[in-house]
Amino acid sequence: MNTLFDQKLSILRLISLEGLIEDNRLINLLSSRALFRDENEIKSNLDILRDEGAVEMVASGYRSLTELGKLNMTESLQKKRKDLLPALKDNIWPRFKELDSDLKKVLTMWQIMPDGSLNVHEDHEYDFEVIERLLSIHDRLCDLFNDDYRMECEFNGLLTYLSDAISAIDEGQLEFIVGTSVNSYHNLWRELHEDLLCTLGIAREEQ
Amino acid sequence: MFGRYTINIDTDLPGLLGGKGAGLFMMRQMGLPVPPAFVITVPSYHAFMQNGHSFLEGDLLDEIKDRIKELETTSQKRYGDPQNALLLSIRSGAPVSMPGMMDTVLNVGMNDEIREALAIASGDDDFAFQCHCRLLKMLGISMFGINKKKFEIDQEGMSLENVVCIYKQVVSEAAAKTKYPNVVDNVWEQLLCCIEGVLCSWHNHRAKHYRRIFQIPDSIGTAAIVQSMVFGNISKDSGTGVVFSRCPATGDRKVTGEYLMRCQGEDVVGGEAACKPIAMLEQDAPIVYRELLRVCRLLEYVYRDIQDVEFTFERGKLYILQTRSAKRCPQAMLKFLASAVSEQLISEQEAYRRGNLLRKSAIERCYVRERVVASDENCQIVGYGDVACPGIVRGYLAFSSTEVLELLSHGKQAVLLKQYTNPDDIAGIDKAVGMFTSSGGTMSHAAVVCRELGKTCIVNTGISINAKSGFAVCDKEQVIKRGDQITLDGSIGVIWNGNSSIERLPDDPDLIKFADWLLGK
């Protein structure tokens, strides 16, 4: 596997996911992942992507993907996973969609109490029940990808990061559930969701 | 240390007896009708663990037998005596609240002989069989880790006696290789097995997981409560329920809750049976109802907090099983604190101390009782939608994250309008004061992000967007344009165009005054 290729692809994927992103946020989110321990490497890859015309500066401090960047990302993902496409389409995607729907329900439960009020996280019994549901979804997600060794290898990176988020939640770092400033479970899940959409060439509104 | 009506607040009762045990102890001191009980203390739990679970053969075993004798004297029943059997509940009770994480066993002290005698004494075979079934099921699942599916048998056309036989066989098989092989028939084995199981449930998987997540030290340990059973399902004038001394949703000074006639506590908590509102108890059992109201007032007076009270009445006599501070929303908490100061239940300093434990954002929600009003005749409602995240905000209309950033660079607040809640607008959502969409649901990923960022969000408005031309067509053909002033009323899901103002609705003056005070306004 070409590491540099994967690093650049991850950068493109994160920019695509966020739409507009400041360098600091991009570096913070990526540098806490195993693949990106070196901030300078991220900056250098960003420069390469800019020079290639895949990334542009659209407002002060904010980067975005160019049309070329979007195309490169989609083509790279699809080329890389050419052999996996049938299994992804027929097996992974329909089951992932079910999980995605369940995850959204659970995260909504995490944020909104059954009476419609915002959850201020003072009811530990309720929160614990929601967390248990989240863990069950994660187990199902792992089963989904681990059922097929090729999928397990291909998505190993994101699955590892998702498991890291689960470990953090398990240790009481509850911002790793839906927090936006860390590699939270929700942020990483969205990344996986976008990755699948992009690989399968599905527009979000069509899913 | 204890008076009849006063308490030395320095006593760490929960640390010694667990929260539940301390509550029972206090209620007993207050002269409230609590079923007789004793507590195996938290230090005893530690001794039990340090001695490899075998201390039950030593001093504690003798003390437990002495305490059982005391229970027999108080209740005028005898443990293991078929003619007048004392049945027990064994409950866990840690110093910190861990609801539902550890084990409880009811009807301990039951075997075939005692069940038959109970059926004769109560005149109700079904009641006696149900009590026996419940014990065997709890014993099997909690103490021996039997999968609960083994107890989910098809009972169609089967007598309750046969059901008991099957349950007994399931439990006996599991118990055969343990140190309690005769647990099904021998009531003393039952007692010790359940005490050991309840103490050990501090270490069950769920309890450990709960403690890890909420960062409760494993070293605390638990107490176990051994209590005389009372039955809400023994007769027509028996029942069980849960009440709050004040409404946990609003903080209003009114006893709320529900109950069931001829049922046991689990039926109310389980949510499967249709419970009656507590006010109806005045018709079903007027003496119990009046006594319950008195108990609620007294408990609130002693604990200086909204109480969540579990009760059972057996043959028209009320028993209080548990009291604890009620879970309530922050609004109810503030309302209670404000009222409690007016009622001289707590001091201003105490109210301030407790109020400050609430999150600032929760206190600020007291002001949510606001509404949008048109400041001139051009200001009008242009759409309605579903609320994904509440709040009232005003800003200038933007159709993309880039436009949001541009407005911000000119010192203007932005409201973002999109076709649907798209996750790649996260930067725009973060910088805008709120967003609204044509389609999409309240559970989408972007709605999750909006809530996490605390941004007002209204979805599914049906507004037709033409972002390239910089306008959108609303419900009644009204047109809103890029840069227009927009107000989102996320309390009711309404979108306004034009010059609006936000007006605070009249609210409980005590509550607002208290919230102002807490926020230093």
Lowest mean pLDDT: which of A71-80, A97-106, B6-15, B399-408? Answer: B6-15
Average pLDDT for residues B163-171, to the nearest whole number? 95
> How far apart, in Å, are the Cα atoms of A23 and each of A29, A64, B425?
10, 11, 16
Interatomic CA distance for residues B281 and A161, integer angstroms: 54
Q: Is A169 on the interface with B (CB under 8 A)?
A: yes
Identify which of A20, A128, A193 has the shortest CB distance to residue B401: A20
- Specify the pLDDT at position A1: 37
Which residue segments constitute the domains of chain B, with CATH numbers given? 1-227 (3.30.1490.20), 230-328 (3.30.470.20), 330-366+511-518 (no CATH), 371-503 (3.50.30.10)
pLDDT of residue A168 exceeding 80:
yes
- Enumerate residues 50 to 69 of chain A having a beta carbon within 8 A of any beta carbon in chain B: 58-60, 62, 64
Nearest partner of A189 among A129, A127, A119, A101, judged by Cα: A101
| Chain B residue at shortest CA distance from A117 | B329
Maximal C-alpha separation, chain A: 52
A156 pLDDT higher than 70:
yes
State what percent of residues in chain B have pLDDT above 70.
92
Which pLDDT score is estimated for B8? 62
ipTM: 0.79
With a cut of 70, say whether residue A135 has pLDDT above it. Answer: yes
Whether the CB-CB separation of B140 and B173 falls below 8 Å is answered with no
**How many residues are given for chain A?**
207
Predicted pLDDT at B272? 59
Mean per-residue pLDDT for B117-144?
92
What is the predicted pLDDT for the residue at B268? 66
Q: Using the predicted structure, report yes or no on whether residue B2 has a pLDDT greater than 50.
A: no
Chain A CA closest to residue B403: A59
Structure confidence at residue B229 as a pLDDT band (50, 70, 90): very high
Specify the DSSP element, H or E, that contains A72.
helix A67-80
User: Which residue in A has a C-alpha nearest to residue B96's C-alpha?
Assistant: A124
Q: Are B492 and B387 in contact (CB under 8 A)?
A: yes
Across the interface, which of B331, B406, B423 has its CB nearest the CB of A190?
B423
Q: Which residues in chain A are contacts of B213 at CB distance < 8 A?
A: 128, 131, 169-172, 174
Q: What is the pLDDT of residues A58-68, one digit of tens each?
A: 877 889 999 99
Tell me: pLDDT of B108 over 90: yes
Average pLDDT on B85-114 reads: 94
A 13-42 residues with CB < 8 A to B: 16-22
pTM listed for this prediction: 0.79
Average pLDDT over residues A13-39: 82
Could you give the CA distance from residue B136 to residue B164 in angstroms, rounded to a whole number? 8
Query: How confident is residue B1, by pLDDT bands cut at 50, 70 and 90?
Result: very low
Rounded CA gap, A139 and A156, in Å?
15
- The region of weakest confidence among A75-84, B96-105, B139-148, B416-425 is B416-425
Phi-psi label, residue A183: left if phi above 0, alpha if psi -120 to 50, beta otherwise: beta
**Position with higher pLDDT, A3 vs A176:** A176
Query: Residue B370 above 50 pLDDT?
Result: yes
A22, closest residue in chain B (CA to CA): B427
pLDDT at res. B168: 96
Q: What's residue B367's pLDDT?
A: 63
Q: Which of A100, A120, A205 is the best residue to mutate to test the B interface, defined by the most B CB atoms within 10 Å of its own CB? A: A120
Rounded Cα–Cα distance for residues A166 and B61 (Å) = 43
Res B250: pLDDT: 78
Nearest to A21 among B406, B419, B427 (CB): B427
Mutate to test the interface with B, among A108, A119, A198 (most CBs of B within 10 A): A108
- A-chain CB neighbours of B453 within 8 Å are 180
Report the pLDDT value the prediction gives residue A2, as an integer from 0 to 100. 43
Cβ neighbours of A107 in B, within 8 Å: 443, 448
For residue B454, the SS3 value is: coil
pLDDT over threshold 60, residue B271: no
Residues from chain A that touch B210, judged by Cβ atoms under 8 A, are: 124, 128
Distance (Å) from the alpha carbon of B322 to chain A's nearest alpha carbon: 17
Element spanning A64, H or E: strand A62-65
Which one-letter amino acid corresponds to residue B189?
Answer: E
Instruction: Report the pLDDT averaged over residues B391-400.
Output: 92
Helix/strand/coil percentages in chain A, nearest 5: 75, 5, 20
What does the pLDDT read at residue B439? Answer: 86
Q: Are the Cβ atoms of B445 and A104 closer than 8 angstroms?
A: yes
Average of pLDDT values for B175-197?
A: 95
Cβ contacts below 8 Å, chain A against chain B, sum to 112
- Give contacts of B212 with chain A, Cβ < 8 Å: 170-172
CB atoms within 10 A of CB B328: 23
Task: Give the confidence band of A39 by pLDDT, cuts at 50, 70, 90.
Answer: confident
Q: Token match 């005070």: residue?
A: B517
Q: Is A122 on the interface with B (CB under 8 A)?
A: yes
The residue-averaged pLDDT of A76-92 equals 89
Closest approach of chain B CAs to the CA of A15, in angstroms?
Answer: 8
- pLDDT category of residue B5 using cuts at 50, 70 and 90: low
Shortest Cα distance, chain A CAs vs residue B253, angstroms: 20
Is residue A120 less than 8 Å (CB to CB) from chain B?
A: yes
Find tokens 């340090």 and name the residue.
Answer: B50
CB contact under 8 A, B213 and A172: yes
Taking the CA of residue A40 and the nearest CA in chain B, the distance in Å comes to 24
Nearest CA of chain B to the CA of A184: how many Å? 11
Q: How confident is the model at residue B507 (pLDDT cuts 50, 70, 90)?
A: low
